[in-house]
Amino acid sequence: MKIRSFQGLTPRLGDNVFVDDTALVVGDVHLGDDSSIWPLTVVRGDVNKIRIGKRTNIQDNSVMHVTHPHTDIPDGYALPVGDTVTVGQRVILHGCAVGAKWLGGMGSTVMDGAKLEPYVLLGAGSLVSPGKVLEGGYLWLGSPVRKVRPLTDDEKKWIDYSAQHYVDLKNKHMSEEK
């Protein structure tokens, strides 16, 4: 089963949301309109909440999880993800805050308490350490991540294009399911 309740919390899906049959979405999760969850992806809101914006795609083999509230972190770390975001294949987002118009390269990891401002392009394989803030409008890459240079206008357009491409692609997949 791809959508599963946990402790009385059932994921809520906006309009025209695509969740692949091999993906798992569980617990306190909200998916915004026109968003998509691709094969073998796990979105696990079992100990805190996950909120995914509109026109956001979470690609194959990605893992999204949260941190539970405890003594050191009374609210834990939820996982808000903005609108018009592309999360590339095999990305791990754990208890971080992802701004709108963000693109995460394949195999990247973003850890607890990190904040990624709008228009961040995160290079493939990058590691964002706990609590790190990535300023918007820049290319960031490396392990640990470092700011490389300002984004070009073409790169900013690509972030928007990528999100729209995945809206179009999920619509094609949804039409095949009927």
Q: Which CATH superfamily is domain 3-177 in?
A: Hexapeptide repeat proteins (2.160.10.10)
Residues 71-95: what's their mean pLDDT? 97
Quick: pLDDT tens for 23-47: 999 999 999 999 999 999 999 999 9
Q: Give Cα separations from 152 to 119, 137, 138, 139, 159 (angstroms).
A: 11, 9, 9, 9, 11
Terminal alpha carbon distance of the chain = 18
State the Cα–Cα distance between residues 84 and 105, nearest whole angstrom: 15
Residues 81-90: what's their mean pLDDT? 98
Residue that the structure tokens 């690509």 belong to: 158
pLDDT at residue 178 is higher than 70: no
Give residue 177's pLDDT band: very low, low, confident or very high (50, 70, 90): confident
pTM of the model: 0.96
Amino acid 20: pLDDT: 96
What is the percent of the chain where pLDDT is above 70? Answer: 99
The domain segmentation of the chain, as residue ranges, is 3-177
Q: Which residues are 52's β-sheet partners?
A: 31, 81
pLDDT at residue 161 is higher than 70: yes
What is the percent of the chain where pLDDT is above 90? Answer: 98
Q: Give φ, ψ of 108 to 5 degrees.
A: -80, 155
Coil, helix or strand for 121? strand
Give residue 134's pLDDT band: very low, low, confident or very high (50, 70, 90): very high
How many Cα atoms occupy the beta-carbon half-sphere of 58 within 13 Å? 33
Amino acid 1: pLDDT: 55
The first and second tokens of residue 22, run together, are 């091999």
Are 147 and 165 spatial neighbours (Cβ–Cβ below 8 Å)? no
